Structure 1
């Protein structure tokens, strides 16, 4: 029995076909090879076309099918992971009304801040577990305020994964996990937030049917099945945002377990059984994939917008003719500490852990007679590791103190410099796994379709491929210098 997982990323779409018995991918494909564009019509804005995601998903599935390693007709269920917080709008004919305002777009910060104050800060934090900040609800309010002709045509609002499921099945659904990531869900009352809906003047009719994360969210239509060479009627049985899905793919489901990822953005995601929140909403709490009224499972999420995106920028600007592996090898040739070069990696929109401030990327202490391309590559990775430490310290303030962190051996964790810097500066060992979001989505589909009776059964064959322990170089002095530079920058904003 085979399971199909689709991971809708900011940079590309990846799909995997997983053998349910072994929990291993029999084939994987990514599309496109180059990183997808982000439209930025104004400073701080970020949009992508959902139709681009759908085209990429189809191309990735076709590439997987062309591998010849399986029979597409043996696929029995589909799961979807997706970039979080994006706003997708369709009319009554399921036609897109505009491009998606995606997760790193900053235009709605002030709208969210005003809602936070008007609804009441303590009330928002205790009921929503977050400030409305720059999340999906505030983005929808921006459309209502600035594009009323579009807003008035909306039939349903969705998150990116909901759109892909709609294109596959013709059905539109949501979940408590999805609603919470949009800051539409009231955790105290267990319903759509009356406070958010009433303050912004939204109609409840805009929201899709709410189903459990692990359930049937629709069945593949005959037309789509023919196009993708699949069986008609295959159920989509799992949808989750990329960070809850990444945690699932690493079997991070119980209180105290923690996952990390360092792709386009960087995330530490820990599971709690308490309705916890940060008073400044610098880290955010959402319903995890296994959240239920009778068994609370919350995901506490720290996000850094500009991790892999900064690495990509550096590659394009300083090393377009070299590979990421070559960049990592060059960084390895430079001593720890980058011989004084320090970089603040905050150039991809407003940073929630920095109170939604637009800090930007900053290079400090450049020595024109000393620092080379290789120094820049190492300082970027050390700067990103320091940003993780800064965020982890906020999580520690809120009671999340991991003894070990699980991560996929992918993206920046492919770099020995970054992985060891991350461990040394945080002081927390990291277990690396050969898993990714598309495999996690496929296993989620297996849980949702009943192929696995419990989540534990879906991960019984999962083993770490590497354990990274702190070495003698703690990077504490580097971090303290880096932190001082950040605090100085925050003071002038």
Structure 2
């Protein structure tokens, strides 16, 4: 058996996979009845205590263990995937020093922007493939500047997945792919980005040693094995950030292949074999999970919309009323409104600074509301369309970099469960959307099989994985969606000009 964990910002997911058949044997989620909160002590902040992740890892594993089909004592390898760009700090005793500054926290935007200008745009883009922006390195620089007493006690700085691996193995390690997602990896030196760390006056020794994405990265300690009910000595054999792993879980590994996801955040992720970048750093390029220096260069270009499923969740809470409203009911009601929602426009940027907007925190907003025309169906549709429009806006940037595709693969989950959302996406992007029944935790389990040598190559891990649904563009609706998108982009441009 292969065990995979997905350390998300809303929940921890666990999956048990049979490596011989490639089928999921059991899966669990914790918390099961709500979503983990993000603490925001100040506007633009977002934090979570790492101990909460570990507690829910235990709870998800307990649920797995209670299932008749799940034999955790048969686990042969463990894989991890995690929310990207977060910062976890521990002391020499491996005790957490402060809550994790997670992916959608905006506090370090100005620090990253200063570094971008001071080091030079050309240097940053050619060496880091990105502006330091709001990534992990800048977040640690914020801690050094604003919490020097915390920084002075730091033994190791790590990503969320590195923290979970530490809890499992007792060893602090990371991967080049992980460091690249924090602008901590210099692609020309093929090593830690010491120039950036020197600029921030950060000690390079704070970052863990690196191990390959697919490899034995440590073994489960007796203590962790007793806590989780897995055998002691089982290898942790894979770790990757959630979006590279989402692409991996969809078997998106080669140049020209594209993956999408629409969970709390929405992402389009395309694979290439050259280290391309957007000169304004509105989309980001990282090492992909199967990148091999000098042999098999694979880069993943990622565009992200922070306000995706979180907008849908917010609307559900605001509009549900006393009797509640399921996501399926929301989807059905949204479909009652016409394309373009009768002129109602939603900008979904209400979850921190958005990279596609130049790291600006524009906030979410509703435009064109007419009390005599619009009802709840229009608002629900305008929200789903607004998310798709924001994804298309980022895809336009990627296409200007030379990345394009006729087919996009996505998990049959989250907002892609909405027929309206999936059809709008396919039509507006003019792509065929293949929906596969898999998720990040299953991808992490498959990755563990590769790292442990149970699969010869990454692609071997996907034998038998086929789309459960294919959504094609609707040419009869293309012009209506194009008109609605044009109105959306004009609204966005007006809002950006107002806040300049």
Q: TM-score, normalised by structure 2?
A: 0.98
Partner deviation per Cα, 1:243-265 (whole Å, 9 max, x = no partner): 00000000000111000000000
Determine the structure 2 residue equivalent to 1:339. 342
- CA offsets per residue over residues 430-473 of structure 1, 9 Å max, x none? 11000100000000000000000111211121111111111021
- Which residue of the partner structure matches residue 350 of structure 1? 353
Deviations 1:388-415 (A, max 9, x none): 1101000001111111100000000000
Deviation at 1:329, TM superposition (A): 1.2
Name the CA distance, whole Å, in 1 between partners of 2:212 and 2:224. 24
Q: d(CA) in 1 for partners of 2:467 and 2:355?
A: 31
Return the match for 2:408 from 391, 395, 405: 405
- Describe the superposition over 1:107-147 as per-residue Cα deviations: whole angstroms up to 9, x where unpaired: 00000000001111101000100000000000000000000
Partner of 1:48: 48
**Which position in structure 2 is the counterpart of 1:82?**
82
CA deviation vs aligned residue, 1:152-183 (integer Å, no higher than 9, x gap): 10000110000011111101101110000010
Residues 272-308 of structure 1, C-alpha deviation per residue, up to 9 Å, x if partnerless?
Answer: 1001110000000000001111221000000100000
For residues 227 and 187 of structure 2, the distance between their equivalents in structure 1, rounded to whole angstroms, comes to: 41
Q: Partner residue of 2:209?
A: 209
Hey, what's the Cα distance between the residues in 2 that align with 1:272 and 1:57?
Answer: 34
Map residues 297-336 of structure 1 onto 2, 5 A cutoff: 297-319=298-320, 321-336=324-339
1:491 maps to 2:497? yes
Asked if residue 361 in structure 1 is aligned to residue 360 in structure 2, the reply is: no
2:453 counterpart of 1:447: no
Aligned pairs (5 A) from 1:24-63 = 24-32=23-31, 33-63=33-63
Distance 2:390 2:203 in 1: 39
Instruction: Give the superposition deviation at 1:334.
Output: 1.7
Query: CA offsets, 1:406-432, max 9 Å, x none?
Result: 000000000001111111111111110
1:433 alignment partner in structure 2: 436
Q: Which residue of 1 aligns with 2:485?
A: 479
Is the CA contact (8 Å cut-off) linking 2:168 and 2:219 kept in structure 1?
yes
User: Distance in 1 between the 2:429 and 2:2 partners?
Assistant: 36
Are the equivalent residues in 1 in contact too, given 2:14–2:29 (CA < 8 A)? yes
Partner of 2:252: 252
2:406–2:430 Cα contact (<8 Å) kept: no
Shift of 1:370: 2.1
1:197 deviates by 1.2
Residue 12 of structure 2 is matched in structure 1 by 13
Q: Which runs of 4+ in 1 moved over 2 A?
A: none
Cα distance in 1, alignment partners of residues 333 and 17 from structure 2: 35
Q: Name the SS of the counterpart of 2:76 in structure 1.
A: strand
Query: Would you say the 8 A contact 2:194–2:204 is kept in 1?
Result: no
In structure 2, C-alpha distance between the alignment counterparts of 1:70 and 1:482, rounded to whole Å: 48
Contact 1:7 1:14 in 2 (8 A): yes
The 8 Å contact of residues 37 and 48 in structure 1, kept in 2 or not, is answered as yes
CA contact (8 A) 2:129 2:276 kept: yes
SS at match of 1:465: strand
Q: Deviations over 1:198-239 (max 9, x none)?
A: 101111210111110011111111111112111111110000
> Does the CA-based 8 Å contact 1:343-1:380 persist in structure 2?
yes
Cα RMSD, aligned residues only: 0.8
- 1:32-431 aligned at under 5 Å gives the runs 32=31, 33-294=33-294, 295-319=296-320, 321-431=324-434
CA distance in 2, matches of 1:116, 1:228: 43
Q: Is the 8 A contact 1:172 1:217 kept in 2?
A: no
C-alpha displacement of 1:70:
2.4
Answer whether contact 1:8 1:82 (CA < 8 A) is retained. yes
Distance 2:68 2:375 in 1: 46
Tell me the matched-pair count.
492
